[in-house]
Structure 1
């Protein structure tokens, strides 16, 4: 599609309204009393994907999303500090929690010990593993469960290299105390084994029974899985023995409120929207901006929240090969892409010019474009004449020809790839586009055989990991093949730094440096929306209490079934 045609299409569909976030008011302020019972049907942020694994041992990125209903962790996000409860946190980031927004989950408390360095967790007493016929009898959750889970994960052949190397060993000091003995301090300890992608606590009895079989699954969390149909749905039912409570007003209520939660797997957008409009979905967690205007007209009582996508996007430029080993070429390509036009035309204004590698919600780490030095701002300013001059200075007065891969799994990239190619052709850079299926596309990167230009999405994860995985030598998710020994040493220093304010300063400097070096063509990050019906209570668009783990959020939602009936559903 040509740039002019794209502009015409986008402007024709541009929205003439400004979306105001309609937050779900705190129940205590409304004087509402929680109600038990009913079912919650959700089109999640991964509504197109069924579960990919049921066993944390597989080190699969999505496992918390599916097992986090019943597997718990030592630490979780503190939802009492969410915006709906008068706090400052939205809990929408995919795998990052603020340091002042944590609570013990299976852990009651934790503290550091010195000489030798250790992190000591005091566990909650009286939490029970529920009985699971053929798998285990009911028994208390104890420190040995934490030790077993960590050691098992640490011996997985799929474990990420160096992930737990800063931990010397884990031991049970007594029945309710776990000690993580450290070789060295690592600032990312919470994301590694506290509340991250690989932090679930799993009973040995389940492993013995067969952890990859969802029918064997059991855990201490608010729900237990009851049914799974690949490509269709997965249903979780209330755990009647769940230990946690929610304080509303001056009353503590046992959780969960609803009897059942169902994830619906729906592949296409039109069917997702129909399911929401018809009330078959109570919540649809990801709605693209093009659909919002129509939904507001056809279902005007829906409530909304807006967030920046947790997937940054860019075109990686292989700095280990010509011509992209020359910073002048990389900067030229950035200036040749009209990013303002992409935001205005392609996204209808629903995008952030600078939304990666740092996420806008990461206070202290994220710096807006307006605060960046002129050399960084230049990369986001459309200047094809300057781009041509830089190419000439680099020895490419007539441009060059290269290849760009992109994944057919992303409809947006099917539009953006030719658009970017059209921009670059204006400065003499001719792009051969190579669309690829997801498996081949991912394999190209992980085997370091990706094309010189590689258009992709990547999760922000957290403030340290986003810099490490994208720009540290040899990292799997480093498609530009960026390698700088001095930068690697700075990253190691960040992990060794205990003071968060100092880490923030260091990472801000490192982010500016990498933006300036332009190993990527930096592209805008889109905004997404969540929509839900008014009968969904105690909810404000929260998505995760750890790494893609929403189970405790759903446990705190209740359904006003009388209101639902009055609304005709």
Structure 2
């Protein structure tokens, strides 16, 4: 009986998929108005990783991905400007919101003022924290909540160095006004606390109860965290007193649309691909190129978006250890790896040779490889003979060996690293590969105890942070341990520059410099895809409405229940 049911369901999905491809399926037409109810099962970009923390003061990069449906921020992406709405923006960058695509979330309005330099933020009135038995009674969000959240972050021993150095003080002159007094201008002022990785507003009652315990979590967002099973799922239930609305067809509708969202944690790639194909996942946000054709064949009704990954893949070489303190060694290892062949043979053409540390989407900041100096270009040209020559000049005519650590939860890296090792072995350099579970892998880097080689994917973030976090002295996300006082000064000057066109030039020159000095073995950047079933409406493959934060996107999605039933799910 079960086999017959699955067979019929499969035939139904295939039939609807064919009709969708022909462009004539009435079921594919977007409803005139949203539908309420149902549960969305979502495999997020990093579905192999369980939440790292529930407390922003742990300064975990994934905080907003896991908590962004209940902890809101001052600012968020203006999703009315998404491409699916006829706008210019894809909203897939990991932490970059174009200046014309930022809206107030908890902030009603804001203004930068001079003498003294400050930003004055007016909060929305009537935004409520829901009742949380044993933690807090329902009450209104006030300015002191913002001040308290900032001060906890600023005092955290885990704080990213220099992150808030531009801020002198944060004050609440009245219950709905917050003033950020600044020591100096910083080009990232709105990102650093307004819509950044750690800036969800956490009420004092949650802190008193214990912000690290998921059972105490409570914010002003569209959903409430109601269940968490480590390594399995995060369950979020509709907040009945949520304040925001979505305008569709000229009419405003109360958010959120679905009753429940479940964020699945699935470590095995085959398992999460099967979950999508069989409809157990409604959306899967990060699909390797190698799985796309098979999914399109077996689940033709799926809708797709393809984009260049918003993170760079590389092997960091610790420049504070020998032999990687020698630029000749670092450049040699780059020349020893056939990166063009990796693009063609390993990725089957589904990658770009050069797209890190600056992303091609960063218009005005990105400089194509063919426009860069020869010293940068030759690091992407396969030249094992010159690699051997440089190694000999550096005192390693017979090569050497070194340890490389890699994240066991990354299928792509686990497959790619042995290929890179094989290239290096041809010039006498041997790798000792150490696989690590993500928690230990990340801890090794943040505590600076990681090996001389460290393979990782690091998000671009935004044009300035991509350079700052990776190559400014003593930064948390600086796995090569790069430390150059002159480079640090140039970075500071870029942040002070208010003219974006001038800032773009500064960042281009710094990018050239760091690429040429090769603190990493630079590797190609792959394309990735997002897929979703057509019953998921008001969605076009957007991934982030802030720094790794999909919450506002997911809150605006609804389920066409009739279509889902017709497709046999």
Which range is displaced more, 118-127 or 32-41? 32-41
> What's 2:14 paired with?
none
1:538 shift after superposition: 0.9
Q: Answer whether contact 1:94 1:460 (CA < 8 A) is retained.
A: yes
SS of residue matched to 2:510: helix
Q: Answer whether contact 2:315 2:521 (CA < 8 A) is retained.
A: yes
1:31 shift after superposition: 6.6
> What's 1:560 paired with?
560
1:449 shift after superposition: 4.1
> What's 1:472 paired with?
472
SS of residue matched to 2:99: coil
Q: Answer whether contact 2:30 2:537 (CA < 8 A) is retained.
A: no
SS of residue matched to 1:454: strand
> What's 1:192 paired with?
192
- In structure 2, relative to structure 1, the CA distance for the partners of 1:90 and 1:22 (3 Å cut) is farther
1:339 to 2:339 alignment: yes
> What's 2:217 paired with?
217
1:422 to 2:419 alignment: no
1:113 to 2:82 alignment: no
> What's 1:277 paired with?
277
Which range is displaced more, 319-328 or 268-277? 319-328
> What's 2:162 paired with?
162
1:436 shift after superposition: 4.1
TM-score by length of 1: 0.91
> What's 1:141 paired with?
141
1:30 shift after superposition: 5.4
> What's 1:311 paired with?
311
1:47 shift after superposition: 1.4
- In structure 2, relative to structure 1, the CA distance for the partners of 1:421 and 1:72 (3 Å cut) is same
What is the alpha-carbon distance in structure 1 between the residues aligned to residue 436 and residue 209 of structure 2? 39
1:352 shift after superposition: 1.5
1:132-182 per-residue CA deviation (whole Å, 9 max, x = no partner) reads 233323222221221122122222232223322221111112222110111
What is the alpha-carbon distance in structure 1 between the residues aligned to residue 509 and residue 276 of structure 2? 44
What is the alpha-carbon distance in structure 2 between the residues aligned to residue 313 and residue 487 of structure 1? 23
> What's 1:384 paired with?
384
What is the alpha-carbon distance in structure 2 between the residues aligned to residue 385 and residue 313 of structure 1? 25
What is the alpha-carbon distance in structure 2 between the residues aligned to residue 321 and residue 226 of structure 1? 47
- In structure 2, relative to structure 1, the CA distance for the partners of 1:363 and 1:131 (3 Å cut) is same
What is the alpha-carbon distance in structure 2 between the residues aligned to residue 62 and residue 117 of structure 1? 31
1:251 shift after superposition: 1.3
Q: Answer whether contact 2:28 2:534 (CA < 8 A) is retained.
A: no
Q: Answer whether contact 1:22 1:304 (CA < 8 A) is retained.
A: no
What is the alpha-carbon distance in structure 1 between the residues aligned to residue 231 and residue 324 of structure 2? 41
1:366-425 per-residue CA deviation (whole Å, 9 max, x = no partner) reads 223233233222111112223233334444444344443333333333332222222122
1:329 shift after superposition: 2.5
What is the alpha-carbon distance in structure 1 between the residues aligned to residue 490 and residue 440 of structure 2? 33
1:483-507 per-residue CA deviation (whole Å, 9 max, x = no partner) reads 2211110011112122222222111
1:185-227 per-residue CA deviation (whole Å, 9 max, x = no partner) reads 2222222110011211122222223323323322211111222
1:179 to 2:179 alignment: yes
What is the alpha-carbon distance in structure 2 between the residues aligned to residue 31 and residue 535 of structure 1? 10
Alignment size in residue pairs: 546
What is the alpha-carbon distance in structure 2 between the residues aligned to residue 193 and residue 62 of structure 1? 15
- In structure 2, relative to structure 1, the CA distance for the partners of 1:433 and 1:54 (3 Å cut) is closer
SS of residue matched to 1:464: helix
1:554 shift after superposition: 0.9
Map 1:355-370 to 2 at 5 A: 355-370=355-370
> What's 2:75 paired with?
75
1:37 shift after superposition: 1.6
SS of residue matched to 2:552: helix
How large is the RMSD of aligned CA atoms in angstroms? 2.3
What is the alpha-carbon distance in structure 1 between the residues aligned to residue 129 and residue 448 of structure 2? 44
What is the alpha-carbon distance in structure 1 between the residues aligned to residue 468 and residue 529 of structure 2? 29
Which range is displaced more, 517-526 or 469-478? 469-478
- In structure 2, relative to structure 1, the CA distance for the partners of 1:281 and 1:546 (3 Å cut) is same
What is the alpha-carbon distance in structure 1 between the residues aligned to residue 86 and residue 97 of structure 2? 17
What is the alpha-carbon distance in structure 1 between the residues aligned to residue 336 and residue 32 of structure 2? 55
> What's 2:127 paired with?
127
1:203 to 2:207 alignment: no
Map 1:460-499 to 2 at 5 A: 460-499=460-499
TM-score by length of 2: 0.91
What is the alpha-carbon distance in structure 2 between the residues aligned to residue 360 and residue 367 of structure 1? 8
What is the alpha-carbon distance in structure 2 between the residues aligned to residue 187 and residue 177 of structure 1? 22
1:439 shift after superposition: 4.7
> What's 1:375 paired with?
375
